[in-house]
A and B are shown apart, each in its own frame.
Chain A
Amino acid sequence: MNSAASAASSSPAPAPDSTPVVALRDVSVAFDGPSVLKQISFSVAPGETRILLGPAGVGKSVLLKAIIGLLRPQQGSVELFGQDITTMPEQDLFPLRARTGIVFQEGALFDSLTVRDNVAFQLIQERVLDEVIDFRVREALSFVGLERTFDLFPASLSGGMRRRVAIARALIHDPELILYDSPTGGLDPVTSTTIIELIVKQRDVHSTPALMVTHRLQDAFTLCNHRFDPEQSRMVPLPEGQSNPNTTFLMLEEGRLIFDGSLHELVHSSDKFVREFLE
């Protein structure tokens, strides 16, 4: 086992008393009918990556939006960076949201802006100098391997490229929390692996806490069983039987959180739904 792998597999899990970056307590969300989310409680600790699993339509994306106040819960409370945002006015939420990065399911790039302006959107609003913006955009695009798309419009990019640009946009501001909403949904296996590699790179190089929504088990396991090797500048598998201790799992079923634990606990769970999902 090389030293990096050893570090990845033996680094301690977040201390239980550390202030969580995100904490949800008994959160329920409904839209003109029965609740989409029912009494969800979990937290994301500093440096932790949580993978939210569940079939399509169980409320994974709704949960992600509730975390940064894009949707308000009818019950329960949401804490972001230690502040209760459940009833916080929209105006006060903007500075907190600016500290997070989110990658939407389809990228949600602004189609009237170039890739440069999309990635630099936050910096432009803050009136950062053009030279600084250009430098940081090129840096962010180089992180996702898309330097040559600088002047292109989103319409001329493939689905996978759009997701990578969305990741660059989420990362350019050095966020303190990253939310990924099905970042590999609808993509081919090769592009999916490229996206997962970027997420692993961000996790291992910057230790940014993250929550990734997915229904693809393969992506979740790849994220858990791999580490980023800076020397080879690529993702490499951890030794057999090891997994990243700071990457844990959540599972939703019909709006309820039915699992919260490590990879080991997930694969050995006796819950009927978890078993069915894994098989």
Chain B
Amino acid sequence: MALFAIDRTAKQIVLTVQEYTLFSARALMNFIRPPIYWTDFLIQSDIIGFGSLPIVILSGFFTGGVLALQSAATLSAFGATAVTGQFVSLTMVRELGAVLTGIMVSGRNASSIASELGSMVVTEQIDAMRALGVDPMRKLVTPRIFASVTMLFLLTIVADACGIAGGSAVTVFLNHQNGTEYFHMAYEHLRYSDIIQGLIKPLCFGYVLGSIGCFYGMRTTGGTEGVGRSTIQAVVTSSVIIIFVDFLITHALLSIFPT
């Protein structure tokens, strides 16, 4: 009985992975074949990008501040508080800017995408769209995924800038250190490889959160309860996969750009 349950669960996981792969590949292909719904792409970009701006600015700013506080406390033991700027900028640009933005935007948008599409599925709006001769994959899924990719890229840049600004605010106003020195260290030690690393990640994270939100939304069953379930699955799965993908990308990029 237990073996049967394990067997069934394993098969369901494999089936879900297969369905997700086909789903996301179809969405990807739709972007290079007309019709492309540019208006929907712009609307989604506004919702995902501009709508997420406040949480990205605030989380980026305070994360930079916390990094400066923690690093200054540790670095002062070695008399190296001058490198606080380097520490904050490298951490934000290479890692935390992308990951934090990915998780914050995933919490806000993967859930909203899954619940919106899920509601459309259970109220037969998706069937109605198919019946009216419009492909919901092209009209609903592809614009959301590519808006997520584009906007997460831009939001990560905002988060990086806000993080460095937050670090500088703590350095100057709380730690009473030199602001010019902070910015000088932050800028001087930043390499192109760090920026590339920090900007490749949001492209992948955006794709993960957009495609997983759409995937769970489009396979919703079971009425309003099913919509809630899809929303939770979308947020949890996309957050975990973002961290997993971050590990893979970091590992791959460190072998390409060794520190």
Contacts and interface: CB of A to CB of B under 8 A. Distances in A.
B128 A90 contact: no
A97 B133 CA distance: 5
Given A94-B133, A95-B133, A104-B128, 6 more contacts: A104-B127, A108-B125, A108-B127, A110-B125, A122-B132, A125-B133
Contact of A98 (B120, B124, B125, B132): B132
Contacts of B131: 68, 70, 97, 100, 102
27 contacts: A70-B131, A90-B135, A91-B135, A94-B130, A94-B133, A94-B135, A97-B130, A97-B132, A102-B128, A102-B131, A104-B124, A104-B128, A105-B124, A108-B123, A108-B125, A109-B125, A110-B129, A111-B123, A111-B125, A121-B129, A121-B134, A122-B132, A122-B133, A125-B132, A125-B133, A125-B134, A169-B132
Nearest to A96: B133
B202 to A, nearest CB: 28
Contacts of A70: 127, 130-131
Q: Number of contact residues on B: which range applies?
A: 10 to 19
A65 interface: yes
A106 B132 CA distance: 16
Contacts of A125: 132-134
Contacts of A169: 132
A169 B74 CA distance: 67
A98 B133 contact: yes
Contacts of A109: 125, 128
A104 B120 CA distance: 13
Nearest first, the 6 closest Cβ-Cβ pairs linking A and B are A98-B133, A108-B128, A108-B124, A94-B133, A102-B131, A104-B124
Contacts of A68: 131
Contacts of B120: 110
Contacts of B127: 65, 70, 104, 108
A106 B127 CA distance: 12
Interface string A65-93: 10010100000000000000000001100
B212 to A, nearest CB: 22
A192 to B, nearest CB: 20
A110 B120 CA distance: 8
Nearest to A69: B130
A70 B131 CA distance: 7
A65 B132 CA distance: 13
A91 B35 CA distance: 12
Contact of A106 (B123, B130, B135): B123
Nearest to A169: B132
A169 B135 CA distance: 17
Contacts of B125: 108-111
B132 to A, nearest CB: 5
Contacts of A108: 123-125, 127-128
A65 B124 CA distance: 11
Contacts of B135: 90-91, 94
A169 B129 CA distance: 11
Contacts of A95: 133
A70 B128 CA distance: 10
A106 B131 CA distance: 15
Nearest to A97: B133
A64 to B, nearest CB: 10
A106 B223 CA distance: 14
Interface string B97-129: 000000000000000000000001001110111
A110 B136 CA distance: 13
Nearest to B33: A91
A90 B135 CA distance: 8
Interface string A154-190: 0000000000000001000000000000000000000
A108 B119 CA distance: 11
A132 B207 CA distance: 38
A125 B191 CA distance: 47
A110 B130 contact: no
Contacts of A91: 135
A75 to B, nearest CB: 22
B123 to A, nearest CB: 6
A121 B130 contact: no
B124 A121 contact: no
Nearest to B120: A110
Contacts of B124: 104-106, 108
Contacts of B130: 70, 90, 94, 97
Nearest to B116: A112
A106 B124 CA distance: 8
A90 B22 CA distance: 15
Interface string A98-142: 101010111011110000000001100100000000000000000
A109 B132 CA distance: 12
* Of A94, A98, A122, A169, most B-chain CB atoms within 10 Å: A94
